[in-house]
Amino acid sequence: MPQPERPGRRPKRGPYGSAPQPGGGRPDTSRRPGGPRPAAGGRGWREEEGKGYVPPMPATRLNEDDLVQRPLSPSDGDWPVVVARSPTWQPFLYRRMLRNGPQQASAGDLARVVLEDGSPLGFGLYNPHAELAVRLLTHGVKAPDEVWWIERLQAAVELRRDFLKLDKETNAYRVVHAEADGLPGIVIDRLGDVLSIEAFSLGMYQRAEVLLDHLTAMLGTKHGALRCGPQTLDQEGFTAEAYGSEELPNKTTIQEMGTEFRVDFAAGHKTGFFCDQRDNRKMLAQFCEGKSVLDLCCYTGGFSLQAKRLGKAADVTGVDLDEDAIALAKENAQLNREKIQFVQADAFAYMRDMLRNNRQYDVVVLDPPKLARSREEIEEAKRKYFDFNRLAMQLVKPGGLLLTCSCSGLVQRHEFRQVVAASSEVGRRTQLLFETGAAADHPVAPRIPETEYLKAMWLRME
């Protein structure tokens, strides 16, 4: 069951940097959609006549008690049990993979997972309200105690600081990358003196503050910020307002290879800054000297700034529909004393306007937001990628470069390559020079293809 809130330092509730919310700071769930929470005695499962016990709807709204912060592991060693139908080496157990019937575990519990014959499978975070009901942390009989959690965090930090030596070139990088670091359902970025957490699972949300405590001690950071993933209500049955530690600034300044960026925790997307494109931004600069650059879906100007400052581009134009992002991009240009044109516009409309004006660029960057959030959206996402690339290719001068990206993890690399190939103009030869992905602080777990989400194709347009 959820534990009492821990004493001592507590995050400041409410939106980042704002005053605490009334009533203890958590959002009022009584008037929101999703229906009532199933009775506690049912442990999230319900009994229907003629069907026996069936799992709950994934979007069931959890109540306040389910959102209280918890310790990393049960202090009394009393492990609730979840029964799986068959063994798996993947970290994901979906509801259909569990035995129908009441489980001993409650929402967010760290549970022992066994097979129907009683043999052990492992330990994982359980949420009966989610389609992805168990996120396995370990396999076998050894339970993940607090020492285990600390060792996972230490291994993640050592990869970034000791092995990749990222502190030499930036103070903004991913510290924990979900399943690839053995901690499914959560990502944590270091952004200067701030640790920014995005929780995708209820169990990880409930343990985020304890993880923050340990990482703060390891990294020497000063502030913490926590927000839910964008689809936790639909997928996990809960949502909560973003909040941060008591003196968390609304904005902070980070540096990447000497270029400074402001991060806005109130208006920013995801954790606040896209560290995953760091290596691609550096690589792009090699092709920009004296060139004209168009950065489509530029967000806060990452590619634009590095093309101008590191790459010495002759002129750079960044385009994004998000008014807040464009405002911050302009602020970033001023911060680095660089002259860049930033335009608030729909990327499709802007590209069509440039084509009507017969405008082309030496280098075009196309980095749209995530277009497929569920399997039902994959085909529509592929159509949008086709339309995006069809237009972007026409804006590249003969002999120029197109860097086209997809951050939709559900669209596989080979599918994205096929879409880009289909987008090529008839009669114009396209040469694929490189295929890259996220920077190494976003490692890929070879057995878990979902961890390879970012695809980047570097095309020379003859």
Residues 6+ apart with CB under 8 A from 43: 102, 103, 104, 105, 106, 128
Nearest to 248 by CA among 69, 80, 9: 9
As a whole number of angstroms, the distance between CA 177 and CA 188 comes to 7
Nearest to 81 by CA among 55, 102, 56, 54: 102
Planar angle of CA 287, 368, 327, nearest 5 degrees: 85
User: In this structure, are residues 428 and 421 in contact, taking their beta carbons and an 8 Å threshold?
Assistant: no
Alpha carbon distance, N-terminus to C-terminus of the chain: 63
Could you list the beta-strand ranges (E) of 127-258: 132-139, 172-177, 186-191, 194-199, 223-228, 243-244, 251-256
User: In this structure, are residues 329 and 306 in contact, taking their beta carbons and an 8 Å threshold?
Assistant: no
Asked if 275 is an active-site residue, the reply is: no
User: In this structure, are residues 285 and 261 in contact, taking their beta carbons and an 8 Å threshold?
Assistant: no
Residues with active-site annotation: 407
